Structure 1
Amino acid sequence: MLLRRARISFGGGPMMPAVTAPAFTLNDEQRIAAETFTDNLLVLAGAGTGKTNTLACRVANLLSGGLAKPEEILCLTFTNRACREMTERVERMAGEAARGVTVKTVHAFCAWLLRETPGVFTDVGPDFSVCDADDAREILREVVFEVVGREPGDQALRVLQDFTGLVKDCWLARPQEDCSAAAAWAFVHRREEVERVCVGPDRRFDPKFHRFLVKYGASVVRLYNLKLLSSGLLDFSDLLIRAFALLADPRVSALWRERFRFVHVDEVQDVSLAEYGLLSGLCGNARVLLCGDFNQTIYQWRGSDPGALIARFTEEFHPRVIEFTVNYRSSPGLLAAGNAFLANAFGRGPGGGGHVEFGGDVVVRSFDTPADEIHWIYGQIASLGLTDFSRAAIITRTNKVCADVCGILRASRLDDSLPPVRFMLADELRLLKRAEVKDALACVSIAANPRDGEALARVLKRLVKGVGPATVGAVAANYREGGGAALTDFFDPRTRNTGDFFSPLLDALAEGRVVVYDVESTGTDVYSDEIVQMAAVRLDPAGNVSERFERFLRPSRPVGDSEKVHGFTDGFLAERGEDPAKALGDFLRFCEGCVIVGHNVAFDVAITRRNLARSGAPGEFGNVWYDTLDLSRRYLKNLENHKLLTVAAALGATNDPTHNAMDDILATADVLRALVKGYLLPGQEARRAFYAKYLPRLAGAASLVETARREAEGLGGPAAARMLLDRFGVWELYDGAPEKRANLQLFLDFADDFCDPALPPARQLSSLLELSALSSSELDRMSRSANKVAVITAHQSKGCEFDYVFLPVLQEGVFPTFQAARSGELEEEKRVFYVSITRARKKLFLTWSRCGMNNYPSKPSRFLGMLG
C-alpha cells in the first residue's frame, strides 16, 4: 500500500508508464480510495490517473453497501462539465439511487445552501438570482456614474471590479463586519494587493486609480451591493460570503454538519482558502476525501494556495494520504514529455524526465509568421481524418492570443483548397456573454424573478420602444436617495391600480385588515415540504394586535432535521397537530379580505399556496402581500444586513424574534408599525407624485411585461424562453444580423440541453438562469454532439482531455506572459503550461513563429526547452 503521511508530494509522484485497464477496474491505490470509509483521505492524483472513475466507484460502493443514503453524499468539483461527467459515471455504476447524490460546483452548492436554509436565518429570499461577472461589471458602471457623474473607462472599470472582489474577500474573512469596514481593512492590511489592482494599460501601478479608490472605493462597493440586493441578485463572492456567514451561525451549522456523512472534493488544487473555510465548517461530522493534482494549480490569482490548504486539512482532519501513480490517459511519448517538464521545471519526478522523441507523439515546429503557423495547424487537423472534430483542440495562453488565432482560422476556412474543418471558435464559446444572449437572459429573468430591476432596466433600455435611459435613471435615483419607489413598482398591479405601491397596505392598516403571519415547515422546498405551524395576528388601525391565530399541522412524514429549526417533534405534532386541510381552511377564513405581511415572506406565501393545493381545502390564498424585508431595504440602507433580528433592533421593536412563528410575527408587527410611521406615511405625498409622473411613461411597457409573465406561467424552461424572445421582440431587434440570430438559437439549444423537464416549470426558468451565470467555463455548455474543434484558453481546458492538442504561439512574452517574465513570477506559468500539455491523450503539437502577432521578432518559449 502506497500510504504516506510524513511527506506530501505536491506532484503526486512522477507520471508513470501508461497501462491499459478495463473501464472501472481499479488498481491497488485506487481501490484503497474507493473502499476506505473510516478515515479522511487526501488523494494525490496526477493527470490521467483515473481519479474520476475512482470517485464514482467510491460513491457507488457507499450506495450499494448500504453505508450511506444518496442524500448523505456530497460531491463538489470545479466546473459544470465535471459535475455532469461525475453524475453520469455514478449513475452508470449505481443506477437509480445515484440520482439522489448531490453533485455540484462550489458556487452552485452555496446557492443551493442559501435556498435550502430557512428564511429566519437570512435576509436573502429563496428566489434570488445569480449575477455573473459581465452583469456585475455593468452594474458597477452604473454605480460609478451615479457616484461621480461620468462613466468609467474599461480599464478603470476593471480596476473597480478587481477592487470589489478584494473587498469581498476581506469581508469573507471578517463576515461580522460590513463592506465599508472590509474596504478599510483592505487598505490597511492588504495594501500591496490594492496597489496591484491599480494598474494601467501598461500593467504598471497608476496612482490616479489608487486615489480614486481611496476616495470613492468604499462607497462604490456599498452602492453596488445595495443595487444587487434591491434586485434580488447575488454575485459570485456574495454566494460564498453569505453561505460562510450562515454556517458560522451554530443553529444553521447544526442543520448542515449532520446532513452529509461523506463529502468528496475533486480538483481541490483549484479551491481557494476562502472556499476551503466554507467546506471545513460544513464537513465537521463527515468523512472527507480531497482529491487533486497540485502541479495543476492555476488559480492562485483567485486565492488558491495548495500548501496552506493541505496544512489546514492535515491539521483539522488528519487524513491518510494516497498517491495515484499509474497513468491511463496518455501515450508513452506524452508521458515522457510530462515527466521531463516536471523534472526540469519543478525539480520533481524521475531524473531527466525520461526520453522524449520529438516528431513522434510530440511534434515541435517553428514558422516564419503566425499565419503560416495557424494555416499549418489547420492542415494538420484536416489530415487527421476525424469524423468527430471534438477529439482535437487548439489551446492558447490568453484570450487575446485565442482571438488572434481565431481570426486566422476564419481566413483559413475561406480557402477552398483546404478540406473543411469545423471549429468552435472563441466568440462562439462566449455565447452566454454576448449582448444578444444577455438580452434573452434578461427577458427570462423578468419572468422568473419579478424583483430583478437590473434585468428589467436592460429590457426597457434595449427592447421596449418609448422608454429611454433617462426614465430608468430617474427611477433609480429616487430609490437610491430613499424616495421608496423601485423600478419594479411600475410593473406591479398594486401601483398601477392605486397610484402608490404601498396604498393597499396603508388602506388595509387604517381599516384593521392587515394580517402578519409566519409558518414553520419540514423544509424549504415549496413543492414538496409541509407546513407544521401557522401563526398570524390581525392588526387594528393603531397597529396593535386585535386577534391571534395559531395552528399546528400534522405532516404526512417525519420532520427530520427541521426539528432543529422549529423545535417540534414528530410526537408533539402527532398529538397536537390538526388535519392540514382543516387548519389551512381556518387560516383562509382568518385572513379573508386582509393584506398579508411578513419578513422574508415570499417563501411562506409560496409554501402556503402549494400546501393548500395538495390538501384539497377549498379556496385559494390570493391575498395581496408585502415583505418587511423589502421595506427595510428601501429605507434602512445603512444596516449591515436586513435579517429580522437586525431590523427589529434598529427600529426599537418591543418583541424579540426567537424563530418561533408567533414570536417572529410579533416582532414583524413592531417593524411594520415603525416603518409605516417613520417612512411610508411621511413620504406618501411625494411618492404619489413621483409615481404619477412616470406611470404614464411606463404604461405600455407594463402591459407588455404583464402579458409575458402570464403567458410564461406553466411553460417549461425552453418553451418559456422561446415565447419571451418573441414577446419582447428580441428576434425583431436582430433582424438582418444572421450571426446574432444564430447565437440566439444556440442559447435556445442550450436551454433544451440543460433544463430538466422533471422540475416544476417555474424552477426550470430559475435553474436556466443560474446555470448560465455559474458556468465557470463556456466549454461547460458544449454538448458531445457539437462535433467541433475547440479553440480555447489553457484555463478553459482545465479538466478536459482530447486525443490531439495543438499549442500555438509558444514564444517568450506570450507563454510565459510578458508580465510574468518581467516580474520573475513564473511558477504559475509553469503549471499552466503543464496543464496544457497534459490535455493530450495521443499526440501533442507545439508551435511558434519567429515573427510574433505584433510583427516583432520572437523567441521560442523557454518552456519548450524543458520538455527533454
Structure 2
Amino acid sequence: MPQPSFGVDQFGDVVPDIFGERPSPRPRKASRLSAEALLDGLNPPQREAVLHEGAPVLVVAGAGSGKTRVLTRRIAYLVGERKVHPGSVLAITFTNKAAAEMRSRVIELVGNRAKLMWVSTFHSACVRILRSDIGRFGMARNFSIYDDADAKRLMQLVANDLELDPKRFPVRVIMNWVSNCKNELVDHETARARVSEGSLEQSYAEAYGEYQRRLAAADALDFDDLIMTAVHLLQAFPDLREQYRRRFRHVLVDEYQDTNHAQYALIRELCSAEIDTPPEVVSLSRGGQGGSSPPQVHAEPPELMVVGDSDQSIYAFRGATIRNINDFESDFPGARTIMLEQNYRSTQTILSAANAVIVQNAGRKPKNLWSDAGDGDLVVGYVADTEHDEAQFVAGEVDRLSDAGEARYGDTAVFYRTNAQSRAFEEVFIRVGLPYKVVGGVRFYERREVRDAIAYLRAISNRADDVSVRRILNVPKRGIGDRAEGAVADLAARERISFGEALRRVDDIHGLATRSASQLRSFVELMDAHEAMVAEGAPADAILTSVLERSGYLSELQGSADPQDQTRLENLIELVTVSREFVSGVAVLAAADYGDVDGPEDGQAPDGVDEFGVLRGGSLRVAEGRSVDPLTVALDPEQDLAAGAAEVDASLGAFLERVALVADSDQIPSPDAESAGVVTLMTLHTAKGLEFDAVFLTGCEDGVFPHQRALSDPAELAEERRLAYVGITRARKRLYVSRAVVRAAWGTPQHNPPSRFLTEIPDRLMDWRRTERAVTSWRNTSATSRSNTSWRTTVGYGAPKPQARVVPVLTAGDRVLHSTFGLGSVVATSGAGDDTKADVDFGSAGLKRLSLRHAPLEKL
C-alpha cells in the first residue's frame, strides 16, 4: 500500500493526509540503530514478532519473556526500517509509568521523532479523542473529569435526593453497578430498560440516570465515561471512526488480557476489518477545502499487535474479561499467534513449579515456560503452627538470606492473598527490626476501616476526644448530615463543652430536623451503652466486637457487593483477632503458676506445664501496684515477683495503649532502610509486573489462597490459580511457599487444609523444611515423652529433629527462640537448676512463664 503524505492535525501532530495534496514532511533522519542492531539479542519468536507485517497478531508473552523489549523494538523497527511515520503509531498500555518507559526506550532507539507517537493509557487516548470531537454529542471540549472521590460525592447527592436507604443502597455498591454497566457499554437508558420493576437494579438504574444527568449538566465525565463515550462517538459517527482508522496505521496494545469489554470495543472500532459502515462514509472534508470532498473509500484496517498472557489474567473484579485474549483469533479473522516461552527471569525449577500449577486450568492456550539459567534451588516449603509462626519463619529466613549475601532486603518480597494478612508480618518485622514497606495499600493500622474501629474505641474510652467522635459520627452512614453535625459543633463552641457532651444535649439544639435529632440520640445511646461496658470492666475484645456489630458497621460491609468492602471486612476481622490475642495473652498471665513444680514421672508431662512448656494454674504475682500489659511489659528483674498481688489489665484503655505503641512503631523508619533496602510486603494482585530475587508466597491454604469464595466457583478458582502463577513467576532465584495449620479468624482458630496449589507442585521440586506431619507429631508428643530429648524447630534451618536436651542459662535481656511462640526477650528469671523458670515477652504471642527444663526454647 503506498505511503500517504502528511499534514498537521488539531493537536499539532504530524498525521497522514488522506486528501492528497499536502506539503511533504521534512526529510527523515537516519535511524540511530541499523536493522541488525534493532534485532540483535532477540530470540526467534521475538524476532518474528518484531518483523511481522500484515494480519493482526497476538503475541502470547509468558512471564519474564521480554514482551517490553518486543514492543519497543517493533515500534523502533516500524519507524526506523519500515519508514512508518511516528504520528501513525498508537501504542496503548495500562499505566502512565509503562507508557513513559515505552516512549523513552523508543526515543533512545530512533531519536526524538518518536515523540510524535501516541503512547498512552486507554483513558489518556480517549481523552484526546474526546477533547477534539465530543462536541458532536453536544458537550464542551473543556469538559471536567471527575475522579473517584468526585464521583462518589456526586452519587451520594443523587442517592440522598432519591431517598435511597443507605443500608440497602450503599453508595459504593451503586457506583460499582454503574461502573459495570459502563464497562459493558450499557448507557443509562438501556440499563433502565433492562431492569425489572421493583428490583434493586431499578433503583440502581434510576440513580445511574440521575447521576449521568448531573454529570452532563456539569459538563463532566467520570473515568468510565471516558472510554464508553469515545466508543459511542466512533460508533455513532462512521466518518470520525474512519478518520482515526486512517490516522493510526499501527496499533499496539500491551497487557491485552486485562482489557474489559469497552476497551476491547475501542480496539475493534479502530482495527477490525468487519465494521458495520456504509460503503460510502460521510465526507471527511476539513475547513478551507471548499465544497464537499468526494466519498471516501473504506480504509484498510491498521496493523494490530496485542501482547498479553491469558495465564496472567487476574483482574476480573475490575471488569477485565479473559475472553478478549482467548477469542482474539475469532474476533480478528486471519490473525496469527506468536508464542514467547523463553523466560529470562527465573530458574527452571521455579518455572517448572509455575507450569505445573497453571496447566491445571482448562481451556487455556498451551504454553510451557523454560529457561537456560539452570535449575537453581528447590522451592522451599514450610508448614507453620499458626500465622505468627509462619511470620517468624519468614523473618528468620529473610535475615539469614541477607546475612549470607544471598538476597538483600530490597530484593526480597512477601506475598499474601488479602491485605489483612500483612498484620502478622508487620508486627514480627517491627519486633525483630527488619526494615519493610507495605506496597499496594496502607499499613494495617492506617487503613480506613481499622482507623474507624479504633476511633470508636477511643471515643468510648474518652468522650472528650472530639476528633474520634466526629470521625465516626456518621460511620456507617446513619443519616446524620453536615447541618446536624454543624449544629452540634455550634452548641459545643457556644457552651464551651466537648463535642461528645454536646451530643448528649441534642434537645437544646433548636431547629434540628426530627430525623437528625433521632439519629443523634441513637448514636449517643450506642456510645453510652459501651461506656457502661467499660465501667463494668468488660475486656477490650468484647467491647470491640459489640460496637462493630451494634453500630451496623459489620452488617454494612457484609451486605456489600463491593470487593473492596470484602477486604475491609477481613481487616476488621483481623483487628478483632488482635484484640482477642491481647485478652487471651492476659488470660495466660492470670492463669500462670508461680509455685514450685514437681518434676514429672518418666514419660509424663508435669501437671503444671502444657505442651509448649508454659506453666499452668495459680496466679501471676508481681511487684505491688504494678499493672501488666502482656504485650509491652518490662518487669523489673530486681523485684521479687512474689512480693505483691498482680493487677492484670485487659481493659479497653490498655488495649488502646498497645495499639498506639504498635501503630507508632509502624511509622519509625529503619535507619539503614535507604542504604540496605527494605523487604516488600504486598498482595498478589499488586505483585503483577514486578520481580524479586527471593519471594515468600504465604498463606497457602484452601480458604485463604485460593480464597474461600472461589472454592465453589470454577471460574473464580481458575483466576485464583492464575494468581498463584503470577506470584510464583515473580521469583528470580528463590521461592518459598508456606502455610499455617491454624489461622485465627474472629479470634477463633480456623483449621484450613493445604492449598491445592501446593499439591500441584511436583515433590521433586520441593524442599520441605517443616511438614504438617512434623507439626502433628509435635502436638501429639508431650514435651517430656522422651527423657533425654526435646523437639525444637530452628527458623530457616530444616525440619524438627531430636536434640540432646540442654537447659539454657538465661538472664534478663537475652533473646530466645520458642518453636511455637517465636522470637522473644527474657524479662526475668527465677528458681534454680531443673526448677529454673523464665518470664519471656513474645510480643504478639504475649508474656509467658516457661519451665526451662521442659520448654522447647533456644538461646540466641
| 1:216-254 superposed Cα distances (whole Å, 9 cap, x missing partner) | 222211222234344444223211210111111123213
Give 2:502's aligned residue. Answer: none
- State the shift of 1:344 in Å: 4.0
Q: Deviation string for 1:430-473 (max 9, x for gaps)?
A: 999979xxxxxxxxxxxxxxxxxxxxxx9xx9xxxxxx934999
Cα distance, 1:49–1:422 mapped onto 2, change above 3 Å: same
How many angstroms apart in 2 are the aligned matches of 1:832 and 1:104? 26
Deviation sequence 1:239-272 (CA, Å, 0-9, x none): 1210111111123213311221111111111112
**Cα gap change, 1:391/1:225 in structure 2, threshold over 3 Å: closer, same or farther?**
farther
- One of 449, 461, 469 as aligned partner of 2:482: 469
| 1:858 matched to 2:846 | no
Match of 2:78 among 54, 58, 62: 62
- 1:88 partner letter: S
Question: By how many angstroms is 1:72 displaced?
Answer: 1.5
**3-state SS of 1:822 partner:** coil
Kindly indicate whether the alpha-carbon contact (under 8 Å) linking 2:64 and 2:345 is maintained by their aligned counterparts in 1. Answer: yes
Give the distance between the partners of 1:68 and 1:743, measured in 2 at CA: 53
Q: Aligned partner of 1:392: which letter?
A: T
Q: Deviations over 1:654-676 (max 9, x none)?
A: xxxxxxxxxxxxxxxxxxxxxxx
Q: CA deviation at 1:27?
A: 1.0
Write the letter of the residue equivalent to 2:228: I
The aligned runs of 1:8-87 (5 Å cut-off) are: 25-65=41-81, 67-87=83-103
| Equivalent residues of 2:440, 2:686 under 8 A apart | no
Contact 1:794 1:832 in 2 (8 A): yes
For residue 253 of structure 1, the aligned residue among 219, 237, 241 is 241
Task: Provide the rounded CA distance (Å) in 2 between the counterparts of 1:35 and 1:430.
Answer: 49
The whole-number CA distance in structure 1 between the counterparts of 2:224 and 2:719 is: 23
Correspondent of 2:314 among 291, 298, 316: 298
1:372 maps to 2:262: no
| Deviation (angstroms), 1:863 | 0.8
8 Å contact kept, 1:342–1:353? no
Q: State whether structure 2 residue 210 is matched by structure 1 residue 166.
A: no
Cα deviation, 1:308-356, whole Å, max 9, x if unaligned, reads 55545545352222111211111121111122223344497699999xx
Superposition deviation, residue 850 in structure 1: 0.6
SS of 2:687 mapped into structure 1: coil
Equivalent pair of 1:370/1:849 in contact (CA under 8 Å): yes
SS in 2 for 1:264: strand
* Cα distance, 1:32 vs structure 2: 1.2
Q: Which residue of 2 aligns with 1:145?
A: 160
- Structure 2 CA distance for partners of 1:123 and 1:863, relative to 1, 3 Å: same
Q: CA deviation at 1:166?
A: 3.4
Structure 2 Cα separation of the partners of residues 69 and 26 of structure 1 = 24
Q: Deviations over 1:796-816 (max 9, x none)?
A: 222222222221111111111
Q: Which amino acid aligns with 1:183?
A: R
Q: Measure how far apart 1:58 and its partner are.
A: 0.7
Match of residue 341, structure 1, among 331, 354, 357:
357
Task: Indicate whether 1:179 and 2:199 are aligned.
Answer: no
Q: Secondary structure at the match of 2:358?
A: helix
Match of 1:834? 725
Q: Is the 8 A contact 1:273 1:309 kept in 2?
A: no
Aligned ranges 1:493-504 → 2 under 5 Å: none
Whichever of the two has the greater Rg, that structure is 2
Helix, strand or coil: the match of 2:681?
strand
State the match for 1:756 in structure 2.
none
What letter matches 1:82 in structure 2? Answer: A
Partner deviation per Cα, 1:271-296 (whole Å, 9 max, x = no partner): 12331111111235311101111111
Q: Secondary structure at the match of 2:743?
A: coil
Task: Confirm or deny that 1:409 pairs with 2:425.
Answer: yes
Q: CA deviation at 1:738?
A: 14
**Tell me, what secondary structure is at the counterpart of 1:48?**
coil
Is the partner of 2:160 in helix, strand or coil?
helix
**Secondary structure at the counterpart of residue 99 of structure 1:** helix
Aligned-pair CA distance for 1:55: 0.8
Decide whether aligned partners of structure 1 residues 42 and 351 sit closer, same or farther in structure 2, where only a CA change above 3 A counts: closer
Q: Aligned to 2:69, what secondary structure does the other structure show?
A: helix
Deviation at 1:743, TM superposition (A): 13
SS at match of 1:289: strand
Q: Partners in 2 of 1:42 and 1:162 — Cα distance?
A: 31
Conserved 8 A contact 2:386-2:740: yes
SS at match of 1:327: coil
Aligned 1:91-110 pairs, distance under 5 A? 91-110=107-126
Question: 3-state SS of the aligned residue for 2:732?
Answer: strand
Distance 1:351 1:813 in 2: 28
Q: Is the 8 A contact 2:59 2:308 kept in 1?
A: yes
Give runs of aligned pairs for residues 262-661 of structure 1, distance below 5 A.
Answer: 262-284=250-272, 285-307=301-323, 309-311=325-327, 313-316=329-332, 318-346=334-362, 360-385=377-402, 389-398=409-418, 402-404=419-421, 406-415=422-431, 418-428=432-442, 469-470=482-483
| Deviating 4+ runs (over 6 angstroms) | 21-24, 350-354, 429-435, 737-744
Residue 232 of structure 2 is aligned to residue 218 of structure 1? no
CA RMSD of aligned residues (A): 4.4
Q: 1:124 to 1:329 in 2, by over 3 A?
A: farther
In the alignment, structure 1 segments of 5+ residues that lack a partner are: 1-20, 189-209, 436-457, 462-467, 474-736, 747-783
In the alignment, is the contact (CA less than 8 A) between 2:183 and 2:224 conserved in 1? yes
Q: Does residue 136 in structure 1 map to residue 144 in structure 2?
A: no
Aligned to 2:709: 819
Choose which of 785, 792, 797 in structure 1 pairs with 2:682.
792
Q: How far apart are the structure 1 equivalents of 2:366 and 2:90?
A: 33
- By relative contact order (CA 8 Å, sep 6+), the higher-ranking structure is 1
- Greater shift in the superposed pair: 313-322 or 97-106: 313-322
What's the counterpart of residue 612 of structure 1? none
Q: Relative to structure 2, which stretch is displaced further, 796-805 or 240-249?
A: 796-805
TM-score by length of 1: 0.50
**1:263 corresponds to which letter in structure 2?**
V
Whole-Å Cα distance in 2 between the matches of residues 351 and 60 of structure 1? Answer: 29
Judged with a 3 Å threshold, the aligned counterparts in structure 2 of structure 1 residues 352 and 359 are, in CA distance, closer, same or farther, namely: closer
**Partner residue, 1:243:** 230
Equivalent residue in structure 2 for 1:803, among 685, 690, 693: 693
Give the stretch that moved more between structures: 22-31 or 333-342. Answer: 22-31
Look up the equivalent residue of 2:65 and give its one-letter code. Answer: T
Distance 1:866 1:844 in 2: 15
Q: Deviations over 1:180-218 (max 9, x none)?
A: 332322x36xxxxxxxxxxxxxxxxxxxxx956245222
Contact 1:72 1:101 in 2 (8 A): yes
Is the partner of 1:804 in helix, strand or coil?
strand
Change (3 A) 1:102 1:57: same
Tell me if structure 2 keeps the 8 A contact 1:274–1:303: no
- Percentage of identical aligned residues: 31
Tell me, in whole angstroms, the C-alpha distance in 2 between the residues paired with 1:235 and 1:785: 42
Bigger fraction of residues in helix: 1
Deviation at 1:66, TM superposition (A): 5.5
Q: In structure 1, what is the Cα distance between the partners aligned to 2:140 and 2:737?
A: 50
Separation in 2, partners of 1:351, 1:231:
52
Alpha-carbon distance between aligned partners in 2 of 1:309 and 1:262, rounded to the nearest angstrom: 19
Shift of 1:47: 0.9
List alignment gaps of at least 5 residues for structure 2. 1-36, 273-300, 450-470, 475-480, 487-659, 763-860
Q: What is the CA distance between 1:408 and its match in structure 2?
A: 2.1
